[in-house]
Amino acid sequence: QIQKPKLILDNGLRLDGRRPDELRPMKMEVGVLKNADGSAIVEVGNTKILAAVYGPREMHPRHLALPNRAVLRVRYHMTPFSTDERKNPAPSRREIELSKVIREALEAQILVEQFPRTSIDVFMEVLQADAGTRLASLMAASLAVVDAGIPVRDLIAAVAVGKADGVVVLDLNEPEDMWGEADMPVAMMPSIGQINLLQLNGNMTPEEFRQGMELAMKGINIIYNLEKETLKNKYAELKEE
Ligand code: ADP
């Protein structure tokens, strides 16, 4: 059993050198797979996710189709090499839960009512896990959905906030996720002001919660702009071709 390290150093910085209100470096790219209808890679620090989307397409088996909307089938999966100790590739309870949470977040984004009797299939592979994989996966999936040309209400931008050594921090790293006092992933559609996902693990006072939400919104705005840039660059490339 390893002892909890100090998460906030004497100079006020975090173990990875960030200020409490700083995001990790991020990278995004869409259209990275040839055989999927839509795809994206999202990197947040050392967390790296690949997402692929198929559909809307005719639902098989057909009796699972719905007459008034598309059915979303969503799989969040960690590759065996994504963690420091080999992860068993069989779906764990955690992966089943995260698949459901991510599906519900995507159902609020996609205009599913425009595609009755079809299915939209979303696959996320965690290539490298270093905290925040559910949100990076959700963002990769939402970008892949847009890349597939599926109509959406807005893009989804997401970041976790939490508490480490009593300090409210933005975009938790793995030690903060593991040893911190609170972990709160937040995902939003910023332009329409709707929350897609909000979870809270641990304890925060109402004041810390308010502070955390404010910090999350700040991060979400930066990430939202990066997502829009990513899509714009892709379309500019296509136009040139
Ligand atoms: P999230 O990845 O969304 O933050 P958790 O809070 O459940 O979800 O996980 C935090 C981090 O713990 C993950 O990002 C990953 O780095 C690590 N982790 C999760 N599951 C495993 C596992 N089976 N083996 C090793 N590390 C894991």
Please identify which residue in the block is written with the tokens 């939003």: 188
134 lines ligand 1 (CB under 6 A): yes
Spatial distance between the Cα atoms of 58 and 36, rounded to a whole number of angstroms: 16
174 lines ligand 1 (CB under 6 A): yes
95 lines ligand 1 (CB under 6 A): no
pLDDT at 235: 84
pLDDT at 40: 98
CA separation (Å) from 225 to 49, 154, 197, 229? 19, 12, 19, 6
94 membership: H or E segment, kind and range: helix 93-109
Its ipTM equals 0.97
Predicted TM-score (pTM) above 0.90: yes
Please tell me the distance between residue 87's alpha carbon and the centre of ligand 1 in angstroms: 11
Under the banding of pLDDT at 50, 70 and 90, the label for residue 239 is: confident
